[in-house]
Structure 1
C-alpha cells in the first residue's frame, strides 16, 4: 500500500492533520516532513522497529546509523544529553534554527537508537509543522535527511517528487511546501570549543 500524502499549512498547521500524523507515528509509522532546511524522515524514538525500518530505507545498518533527534524546545534536551553551560547559552541564541548540535548522550537516551552511540545530534528546526508534531507527541522524534535519487540534486525539494520516490518505503509524506537545498550546520558541542562537522545553512564563525 502506498504512503499517505498529506498537505499541511506550513505556518498554521491544521490540528486535525497534525493529529493524523501523530496517529501514524504512534502506530510505528515512518513520516517524511519539512524542516527549516531539507525534508527529513523519522519516527517515534521509542519504537525500535520503526528505527530499524528507517535504517533500511537509508540503506545502512542500525549500528552504523548516525540519526539525530528533533526536540520542540530546549527543555527536552537535558533529558537525553549532557549540556554544558556554554553549549546551552549558544543553543539558546541560535535555536530554533538550521543547526544540529552534537552532544554527549546520557543514560536516558532510548536504546532503540544505535546502542553504541556515545553522542546524539539535537535539532530544533524553525518550522511550525515539525515542532507542532513533536510538541503534541510529547517527546522527540528520530530524524535523518532524505536524499534525492536525482544525480543533479542531492536533496529533493518538491513534495510530490518526494512522494513518488518514497511512497512504497514510508507511511506518510507531508506536503509542507517546497523544501530547501542546504542541510543544517552540524556542530560538535561535546567540548567547550565547538567544531564544525558540516557547514550547512546555519552561519557559524
Structure 2
C-alpha cells in the first residue's frame, strides 16, 4: 500500500495512520532527509527482528535510532562527549549518523547486539511530526537500492509492499546517504562520507 506524504506539509491523516501502525508493531518505509528508510517502534522486538529479516542482515549489524533531539539521544547513550554535543547542536537535525556508546538500558536487539548505537536526528517534516508524539526513538535502516540513482515509492512498493504496512510517497529520492561519524573516542572518526558536510570538522579517517 502507498500512502501520500506531502514533502513539506505531511497529511495529518497519514501521520495518524503511521502512529497507529507503529504502536501495534507495524513497519513502514518513509522518506528522510537522505534516502527512504524502514522504520518501526523501539518497543516492538518482533518488528525489529523483521527489519533484519527484510534487509537480510545479521543481528550483529547495527540499526539506527531516529531521535527527536539531542536530549532524547542522550537517554540511549552512555554519554555524549562535549565535542560531539557541540557538533550535533550546530548540525542537527541533518544528514548525519553518530556512532556512540549505548546506555546499559538500551534494547540490545535494537542495536544489533552491539555496545554502540547509531543516532539520527532527521531533518524531514514527516519525522518531525511523528517525533512530536513519540516518547522513544524509532528504529531504522536505509533502503539501499545500490544500482539505482533514484528510488521511487512505486519501486519500493513492488519490492517490499508485501513485507511492510505501507510505503509513504514523498516522490522519487536520490540515493544519497548520511555522513557517518564515530564519536566514541577523543576525536570524530569518519566512517562514511555522505551528504552531511564536514568541511569545518577535524576528524580521523577510518582505516578499515
> When the two structures are superposed, what TM-score results if normalisation uses the length of structure 2?
0.90
Alignment of 1:45-194 (within 5 A): 45-62=42-59, 64-81=60-77, 82-114=79-111, 116-148=113-145, 152-153=147-148, 157-194=151-188
Shift of 1:137: 2.3
Shift of 1:115: 6.1
Say which SS state the counterpart of residue 136 (structure 1) adopts: coil
> Partner residue of 2:20?
23
Quote the Cα distance in structure 1 between the aligned partners of 2:141 and 2:189. 20
Quote the Cα distance in structure 2 between the aligned partners of 1:41 and 1:156. 17
After superposition, the C-alpha distances for 1:103-152 in whole angstroms (9 at most, x for unaligned) are 1111221234146311101001110112221222222100100122xx73
Change (3 A) 1:198 1:132: same
> Partner residue of 1:199?
193
> Partner residue of 1:7?
4
Quote the Cα distance in structure 1 between the aligned partners of 2:65 and 2:111. 12
**Structure 1 residue ranges without an equivalent (≥5):** none
Say which SS state the counterpart of residue 108 (structure 1) adopts: coil
Quote the Cα distance in structure 1 between the aligned partners of 2:128 and 2:184. 24
Quote the Cα distance in structure 1 between the aligned partners of 2:158 and 2:81. 43
> Which one has more relative contact order, counting CA pairs under 8 Å at least 6 apart?
1
Structure 1 residue ranges (4+ consecutive) displaced by more than 2 angstroms after TM superposition: none
> When the two structures are superposed, what TM-score results if normalisation uses the length of structure 1?
0.91
- How many equivalent residue pairs? 198
Quote the Cα distance in structure 2 between the aligned partners of 1:187 and 1:71. 16
**Structure 2 residue ranges without an equivalent (≥5):** 200-208
